[in-house]
């Protein structure tokens, strides 16, 4: 029971908050608070460039799905002169969306400043996002261990460059919505967007049922390195 005059939090917020706090506490205890802030997308991108150098490659070609689109975009931002053919399928908005992440460590450490610390804020966000995205919005906006995570070692990367890239996006992606794909396309000024009209589900290329238009476009780009002259619309 709260103190007099204090607004009691909804039961689901209290329960979710306790579970999220417990996960964060266990991760911190097991891995150490000194390590967790350095498990982030920027350092993963740096590891990718080390691998490129060890292999003796002048440039790196890359294809990523979902969270992998953000990783690929960060790589182009940190290492623009080492980026070659880049395909980003079902894109995360580069401006750290709560919906998607490879794991809690990376998701939480990338930009902990942006994660609200007040459990009631997540309750409000979940209700708002459920109205906008009925299939997935409330789940994506609900409280996570990031609300209790140690602060990351670096700020989130602002993606804003002219790297060539092919962004693939379903119209009705329930996890990385069309608005995210368009946001990444805008952030990568040299990119082309392949929009699948009527496309449903999360991730497209190289999966069963991928539209032939998408397969042809991506295969051609990976083979010859030339982006389409303009954005494309494919039918599902």
- Among residues of the chain, what percentage have pLDDT more than 90? 54
pLDDT per position as a tens digit, 17-71? 778 888 778 777 765 667 777 888 999 999 999 999 999 999 999 999 999 999 9
Residues 112-139 have pLDDT tens digits of 667 787 888 888 888 888 888 887 777 7
- Name the pTM for this structure: 0.78
Q: What is the largest CA-CA distance in the chain?
A: 69
Which of 153, 125, 118 lies closest to 139 in space, CA to CA? 125
Higher per-residue pLDDT: 82 or 174: 82
User: In this model, does residue 3 exceed pLDDT 50?
Assistant: no
- Give the pLDDT confidence score for residue 104 in this predicted structure: 73
Collect contacts of 7-13 with beta carbons under 8 A, ≥24 apart: 9/119, 9/120, 9/123, 10/123, 12/123, 13/119, 13/120, 13/122, 13/123, 13/143
Per DSSP, the residues of 49-104 read HHHHHHTT-SSEEEEEETHHHHHHHHHHHH-GGGEEEEEEESPPP----TT--S-H
């Amino acid at each position: 029971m709260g103190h007099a005059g204090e607004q009691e939090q909804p039961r689901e917020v209290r329960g979710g908050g306790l579970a999220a706090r417990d996960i964060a506490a266990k991760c911190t205890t097991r891995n150490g608070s000194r390590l967790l802030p350095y498990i982030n997308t920027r350092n993963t991108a740096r590891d990718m460039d080390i691998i490129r150098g060890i292999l003796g490659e002048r440039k790196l070609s890359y294809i990523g799905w979902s969270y992998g689109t953000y990783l690929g975009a960060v790589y182009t931002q940190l290492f623009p002169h080492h980026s070659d053919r880049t395909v980003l399928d079902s894109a995360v908005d580069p401006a750290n969306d709560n919906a998607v992440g490879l794991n809690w460590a990376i998701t939480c450490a990338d930009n902990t400043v942006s994660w609200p610390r007040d459990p009631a804020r997540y309750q409000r966000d979940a209700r708002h996002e459920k109205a906008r995205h009925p299939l997935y919005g409330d789940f994506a906006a609900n409280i996570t261990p990031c609300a209790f995570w140690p602060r990351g070692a670096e700020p989130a990367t602002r993606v804003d460059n002219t790297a060539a890239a092919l962004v693939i996006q379903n119209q009705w992606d329930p996890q990385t919505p069309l608005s995210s794909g368009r946001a990444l396309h805008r952030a990568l000024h040299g990119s082309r967007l392949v929009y699948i009209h009527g496309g449903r589900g999360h991730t497209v290329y190289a999966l069963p049922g991928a539209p032939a238009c998408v397969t042809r476009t991506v295969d051609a780009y990976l083979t010859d390195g030339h982006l389409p002259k303009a954005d494309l619309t494919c039918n599902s």
